[in-house]
Structure 1
Amino acid sequence: MRSEADALAGRRVLVLISGSIAAVKLPQLVSALVQRGALVRCVLSPAAERLVSAVALASLSRSPCHIEADQWSHREARPLHIALAEWAEVVLVAPLSASSLARWVHGMADTLLASTLIACEAPVVVAPAMNSAMWAAPAVRRNWRELQGWERVLPLEPGSGLLACDRVGDGRMADPALLLLALESVLVAGCRRDWRGRRLLVSAGPTREALDPARCLTNPSTGRMGVLLAQAARLRGSTVDLVHGPLAVDPAWLEGLQCHPVVTAAEMEAALLRLQDGADAVAMAAAVADHRRSSPEQGKLPKEALEASLSSGWEPVPDLLAGLVRRRPPAQAILGFAAQSGEVLQEARAKFARKGCDLLFANPIDRPGAGFGSAGNEGWLLGPGTGERRLEPMGKLALAHRLLSALAEAAALRAPVRAPADP
């Protein structure tokens, strides 16, 4: 796995755009890719040419945008679909129309876009978009099921909402911000689906404990680490329940997750306990408040009374991680998090011994580029199978994949051993 903070920088991304009205969102995505340092080339299908300007895409990508008329141009020294397929490190097909899906699955190389896809050996992120009736059609469902079984393909199910045809239902293309995340994930971890069939429970973000209606005890957590952990697991095939406090992340990052928003530690505890028994593994990335008011004030305190109120009336919040460890099913693996300052490893050892979880990731919050609100992170991963593993600075999505792999190993160690069958 790459350790750079941005896995897209310097990587060759081929964007294939087919005929759906969602194609109008792709210039925004191409621009975002270039801003993050990716090298981008675009291909428009004949139908997409009517929806998106090739001139605009060429300008935004800083590279020629290829259309159907370029397929057998005398200006190309090699077959264009082969040259493009060999150039790409990762491919994005967005939007994927019903026609392009059928051509790809059935090997019909009758357009530049289709022949490029068929010739391509790079990993492919796929984001369909179409009318909900078309998406539900038996032929389309059959083709989509076929594509989901391909090893080098990362399929992103369309979401539900108001479609361009004024119909409300499934068929809405994944948000461009989520497509960026999926491309980065493929470059970091490939198209692996090793979490398929498993359910992961993740906590993320801060909790807030009210002092009065105008003030609260909280922390700087944005929820970025927990949400990226949840999305990485979802992209690897898991069903994910995300219990989160107030977040400061792109709302598109929540697509495809089963979200359970909470505010206080008590609400988070209740949601986690309700969902724990159905989970194969748990990742406790939330930054939970350590104390709360035993009786929050019903009205806003005058400034003069605030200092006196802060000196009393607090009670400790129950240890949510330790509570989950005590009541977990035997085969459930649990990953804890510890935000530390100073001697991170020394504090982490003591916390790991107290908590009883399978893995503990401890990260510094007093170093530039790590901790709350940062794009990257670093720290130590502690566990029986891993020992004490130093994780060097990396982007939080790359870290999420590292932690998921370790959590999968821990879950395998906890799985019950089956007795051999009688001969």
Structure 2
Amino acid sequence: MSQIFTPVVPVAPSITKVILAITGGIAAYKSALLARLLVKEGFEVRVIMTQGAQQFITPLTLQALTGNEVHTELLDTEAEAGMGHIELAKWADLVLIAPASANTLARLAMGMADDLLATVCLATSAPVMIAPAMNQQMWAHPAVQLNVQTLSDMGYEMIEPDSGVQACGDVGAGRLPEPEILLRRVLNFKAKLMVPQSLTGKKVTITAGPTVEAIDPVRFLSNHSTGKMGFALARACRDAGAEVTLIAGGKVDLTTPLDVQRINVLSANDMLQAASQSAKAGCDIFIATAAVADYRTRDAAPQKIKKTQDEMTLDLVKNPDILATISHTYPDMFVVGFAAETQDVEKYARGKLASKDLDMIACNDVSRKDIGFASDENAMTVFFADKYQQEPEALDKASKDEIARQLVALIGQTI
């Protein structure tokens, strides 16, 4: 008989108070730095340690790092009426179990309440994030994977372990992610709680950065795009609940947002191929922020071109129009374009909106030195296709992350 699970926790309105729960495993040493990072980020942190965890790292260490007493016992005679687990459960905005041992996963999946950690997880209304860490063979065992799936179905937020060399010498999945990565997961989770989930269930493909068109093996045609706007949109779409694929062109040197699939390409033809594959695989929203080179050399030289003459002529041919191709091939997809112009911004933006059959276009004036390429800030005007009967929206100068959140809100209101 199949069983229907309901989430263990409702979404909390904000996160300021974190319980960091540490279970037995060599990865417990990373939890000390994680505690320090959480405190530096402004969270109030209280620590729960199982008996196994105390074999690897001492409560005194965590007490010194957090400034709070470490909790180790289910029945606390110091607490009001001896009900310390209930006090902790009510206090927390978030419970983060890192590392979580295989034994802990099994006990949580069974709903056991025979120690402080398991009881707090049952008694809390806060979200619970679990970062498993164990030997790679243990992690791959069907029983462990069944427990992971059960906990996910219950509503626990699972953090996949990393792969690499383990303390036992094995190589494979099962390593606890680095403390900095775990902190980012907490911050991203917190951000999601504050963002309307307007894109839940939607698949979004975003192109970002410049394209690189080879002249010879060492020279190329490109532009000043950094990809910052596209990466900001990837984070904003993810936070709004979307499944995001990010196609990064050129040599974009930005950190891939967590939970975002990244595809690296170079040329416009490469980007078109990746975008077409993503659209064909199923895509609801296509956002084209990439600065695609208009032209490429007809034939890239196989060897470096030597400086033997005073003048050189390049034979250029037009690149494919990625945005128009996707829009015309998939008319039911919601397609968003970007127009980076230096003059007559509104005229060219409206022209692209109509000629490429877009649903929405965001335009900015890159002749301004304080916004656009290489800047961390932007300002835009957003135009919509006539069928939506929406007036243009002006987005005043702000960080690209804030502009991205505003754009995603507009997309969510329009689709």
TM-score normalised over the length of structure 1:
0.74
Structure 1 partner of 2:325: 323
Q: Which amino acid aligns with 2:319?
A: V
CA deviation vs aligned residue, 1:190-237 (integer Å, no higher than 9, x gap): 298876665433323332223443333334444344345446656776
The separation in 2 between residues aligned to 1:77 and 1:389, in whole angstroms, is: 57
Q: 1:32 to 1:73 in 2, by over 3 A?
A: same
Distance 2:134 2:34 in 1: 19
Unaligned segments of structure 1, at least 5 residues: 1-8, 414-423
Aligned partner letter, 2:113? A
Q: RMSD between aligned alpha carbons?
A: 4.1
State the distance in 1 between where 2:61 and 2:307 align.
Answer: 56
Specify which of 274, 279, 292 is matched with residue 277 of structure 2.
274
* Distance (Å, rounded) in 2 between the aligned partners of 1:150 and 1:383: 41
For 2:49 and 2:377, how far apart are their aligned partners in 1?
Answer: 35
Partner amino acid for 2:254?
Answer: V
* Aligned equivalent of 1:248: 253
CA deviations on 1:262-304 (whole Å, 9 max, x unpaired) are 1112211122223321122223233323333334444545678
Partner of residue 52, structure 2: 47
Q: Does 1:111 align with 2:112?
A: no
What is the rounded CA distance, in whole Å, between the counterparts of 1:84 and 1:52 in structure 2? 21
Partner secondary structure for residue 108 of structure 1? coil
Matches within 5 A, 1:60-209: 60-61=65-66, 63-64=67-68, 66-68=70-72, 72=76, 74=78, 79-151=83-155, 153-190=156-193, 198-209=202-213
Q: Distance in 2 between matches of 1:86 and 1:317?
A: 59
Structure 2 counterparts to residues 3-18 of structure 1, below 5 A: 11-18=16-23
1:284-325 Cα shifts (integer Å, max 9, x gaps): 23332333333444454567868x44x753444332111111
Matching residue's letter, 2:214: A
* CA distance in 2 between partners of 1:300 and 1:43 (Å): 62
1:290 is matched with which residue?
294
Per-residue displacement from partner, 1:217-262 (whole Å, max 9, x unpaired)?
33444434434544665677655443222231236x46x5544321
After superposition, what is the alpha-carbon deviation per residue over 1:395-414, rounded to whole angstroms, capped at 9, x for unaligned? 6566656555654565xx5x
Aligned pair in 2 of structure 1 residues 54, 146: CA closer, same or farther (>3 Å)? same
Inter-CA distance 134–11: structure 2 relative to 1 (3 Å threshold): same
Secondary structure in 1 aligned to 2:253?
Answer: coil
2:230 is paired with a residue whose SS is helix
In structure 2, how many angstroms separate the alpha carbons of the residues matched to 1:397 and 1:149?
31
1:360 match: secondary structure: strand
Output the CA distance in 2 between the equivalents of 1:343 and 1:25: 55
Supply the distance in 2 between the matched residues of 1:141 and 1:218 (Cα, whole angstroms).
46
- Separation (CA, whole Å) in 2 of partners of 1:91 and 1:345: 49
**1:68 counterpart SS class:** coil
Q: What SS class does the counterpart of residue 94 from structure 1 fall into?
A: strand
Once the two structures are superposed, residues 316-362 of structure 1 have per-residue CA deviations (whole angstroms, 9 ceiling, x without a partner) of: 4332111111111x432223334456886666444433432223344
Equivalent position amino acid for 1:263 in 2: L
What amino acid is aligned across from residue 19 of structure 1 in structure 2?
A: G
Cα-to-partner distance string for 1:371-423 (whole Å, 9 max, x where unaligned):
4556665544443556434456666566656555654565xx5xxxxxxxxxx
Give the aligned partner of residue 357 of structure 1.
Answer: 358
Do the aligned residues in 1 keep the contact of 2:62 with 2:70 (CA within 8 Å)? no
User: Which amino acid in the other structure matches residue 324 of structure 1?
Assistant: I
Distance 1:320 1:347 in 2: 17
Residues 223 and 17 of structure 1, relative CA distance in 2, 3 Å threshold: farther
- The 1:109/1:336 distance shift into structure 2, 3 A limit, reads farther
Tell me the amino acid that sits aligned with residue 126 of structure 2. A
SS state of the match for residue 392, structure 2?
strand
Which residue identity is paired with 1:110? Answer: D
Give the % identical residues: 34
CA deviation after TM superposition for structure 1 residue 150, in Å:
4.1
The structure having more radius of gyration, on CA atoms, is 2
Distance 1:343 1:278, change over 3 A: same
3-state DSSP of counterpart to 1:185: helix
**2:74–2:115 Cα contact (<8 Å) kept:** no
Tell me, which stretches of 5 or more residues in structure 2 are unaligned? 1-13
Which structure has the higher relative contact order (CA within 8 Å, separation 6+)? 1
Q: Whole-Å Cα distance in 2 between the matches of residues 337 and 188 of structure 1?
A: 25
Q: Measured at CA, do residues 173 and 302 of structure 1 come closer, stay the same or move farther in structure 2, by a change above 3 Å?
A: same
Question: Hey, what's the Cα distance between the residues in 2 that align with 1:174 and 1:341?
Answer: 44
